[in-house]
Structure 1
Amino acid sequence: MQKKYVTIASFTAALEPGILEETERYLAIIILLAGFKRYRSWRVPIAIYGSALLFGLSHLGNVGWNGETFEATIAQVIGVMGSGFLWAVLYLYSGKLWIPMIFHFLMDYLANLQSGWNSAGWQFNGWATDYISEVLMVLVPLIVTIWMMYGKRREVLEENADRLMNLPVEFNRY
């Protein structure tokens, strides 16, 4: 952590995506749940993975922002898709939007404090470590979300999806 990055600008640069991007994810989840309500066994996975994909793709506009290259932007799209998996599961599991907002803010703010990063300006040099970190940023969250799709965890996701859609909570297996 570098003291020179402890600024209001650094704080607000992390606060804005934490609030606005998670609100955007909420809307994507609601739209996907509503669009796939007839496909009960698929609606939660589609909402989680679809919202994460949309979240990643929403970062395509960062090409050139703070000198971000096309390759770095693609790396950012892939990397944030992984965190998108986690934030979507966290939201659907808890039923509380403020929880992923806080985690998203903390992730961005800690990155800001380390390097002055401001949610764009990713680097990708094509080194083996760049590729390894990209794989890990997607693979670890993907494994967690797949794990969440089974047993009692899945039932909680489904119950919260029913609540979001204002449907009677069903206790049937998905």
Structure 2
Amino acid sequence: MFIKQHLFDYQCYLNLLLAIVLTFIDSRNLFLLVSVIFVLGLNIFLNKTESFYECTVSVISLLSPILFMQILVNCVNFLNQQKVLSQTFLASVYLILLLMLYLLTVLKFFPSLKTPIFQLISIQGLLLPAILIKSIDLYGSTTLLLTLVQSKFFLALALLIVVPMILESWDLSNLNFKMSTRLLILIAMMLLLIWFAFFNSLANFGQNFSEILWEWKNNLTLYNFTLDRVNWAVEAALFEEIIRVLDIIVLLKLFSKQKFRIILTIFASAILFALPHSLYLRTGSPINYVVGEVIFTFIGGLMYACLYLYSGKIYLLMVVHFLVDFIVLAEPQLTAFNVGPLLTESTLGLVVRCLVELVPVLLLTIFTDHDKLEKNLNQLVNVDHVK
């Protein structure tokens, strides 16, 4: 309720402030400032009258996305011209604010629209920014993130997220547009984990954070994609993931009477996955390397356990594990001299890798339907018959 009633209002005031600043910088933004004042006035007027309520709401919904997005684009372009922030950082902030802009507008205004004509007017407000507003100017950068921003891919993605909310608020969810939240999260998780498989190998070659996270320059034609490396990766994926799932099922039974059995199972399975990696000490590996490997694999164990408990699909674990191991095993020795110092010559590398692996853990923790998860897990381990 707080989001619906207040955050859009704060967004209006923030955009007014930004429009004032932009107008001082460039007088051509004066029309933009006047338009924002007009929308803000409508929003204030909306709270004082019941007459023409839907009409006013539809006008605000039509104008606010394109005005606020134009302000956002102008601000990003100005900051980019000053060269005080990296383009990757600006692109990331732009995408987050873009999604918030759509969400706040939809959450506050769309549910109150009941008349089809006003609903149609508001819908066009979500489309106009894609047609009338140019992408942010990032000087032809070719990294994946910046390419997606300039292609307006995330604008379409934001639309994909808010449209199910709109349909549900208008009692039109029977159109079957909305995919299950569970499926959407799994798709997002798999995309994130595929990215992680490449990050896990290629990040070491980065000379700066942009090259670590996105701008991977290694030529994949140099990779040694041989049959023996495929065999090693498949062997590790099958063997370790089957053992992991067996551990998880037994741990669920072991902790079946405990209040926090899911958390205990996740941590215990991660420990069981990480401890065998301490045996690298027997091969003469430096102790600091072995400690880092144990910590890294423990965090990875949390990630794999959460993915399995959420999806119940062992093949998802096997696919991700295969990709991670295969890309590392096929890593070209020809480029070893280009290894960057950021992730290889300090504890920063371990910290960054662990934080990246914690992202899917947090996502699954936040978006999991715990009641449904408990029911599925009870069926998995047949808890009713556990004495």
Classify the TM-score, shorter chain.
0.7 to 0.9
Matches within 5 A, 1:31-46: 31-39=250-258, 41-46=259-264
For residue 96 of structure 1, report the CA deviation from its aligned partner.
Answer: 1.2
Higher mean Cα deviation, 148-157 or 77-86?
148-157
Identity %: 29
> Can you list the C-alpha shifts for 1:45-74, whole angstroms capped at 9, x where unaligned?
111121112111121112254x63222121
Task: Tell me how far 1:8 sits from its aligned partner.
Answer: 1.6
Contact 1:93 1:153 in 2 (8 A): no
Q: Greater RCO between the two (CA within 8 Å, min separation 6)?
A: 1
Distance in 1 of aligned mates of 2:278 and 2:307: 24
**Contact conserved, 1:48 with 1:88, CA < 8 A, in 2?**
yes
Match of 2:308 in 1: 91
Change (3 A) 1:156 1:132: farther
Alignment of 1:73-152 (within 5 A): 73-115=290-332, 129-150=345-366, 152=368
Aligned to 1:122: none
> Structure 2: which 5+ residue stretches go unaligned?
1-219, 334-340
Match of 2:123 in 1: none
Distance in 1 (CA, whole Å) between partners of 2:363 and 2:345 is 26
| Residue 134 (structure 1) shift | 1.1
- Which range is displaced more, 45-54 or 130-139? 130-139
Higher alpha-carbon Rg? 2
- CA separation of 1:35/1:133 partners in 2, compared to 1, >3 Å: closer, same or farther? same
- Which one of the candidate residues 251, 263, 266 is aligned to 1:48? 266
Is the CA contact (8 Å cut-off) linking 1:93 and 1:156 kept in structure 2? no
Q: Flag the 1:79–1:2 CA change in 2: closer, same or farther, 3 A.
A: farther
1:119 is matched with: none
The runs of 5 or more residues in structure 1 that have no matched partner are: 117-124, 169-174
> What residue number does 1:15 align with?
234
Change (3 A) 1:64 1:85: same
Deviates more, 1:149-158 or 1:23-32: 149-158
Q: Report if aligned partners of 1:29, 1:51 keep a CA contact under 8 Å in 2.
A: yes
Partner of 2:286: 69
Contact 1:25 1:55 in 2 (8 A): yes
Cα separation, 1, equivalents of 2:369 and 2:233: 30
Task: Please tell me whether residue 160 in structure 1 is matched to residue 379 in structure 2.
Answer: no
Match 2:248 to one of 24, 29, 46:
29
Native 8 Å contact 1:90 1:100 kept in 2: yes
Matched letter for residue 376 of structure 2:
N
Maintained 8 Å contact 2:256/2:383: no
Q: Which amino acid aligns with 1:51?
A: S
Cα 1:160/1:63, change in 2 over 3 Å: farther
Q: What's the CA shift for 1:31?
A: 1.9
Task: Name whichever of 144-153 and 15-24 sits farther off.
Answer: 144-153
Letter matched to residue 348 of structure 2: I
Q: Distance in 1 between matches of 2:332 and 2:347?
A: 20
Q: Would the aligned equivalents of 2:307 and 2:364 in 1 still touch at CA under 8 Å? A: no
Q: Does the 8 Å contact 1:64/1:70 carry over to 2?
A: no
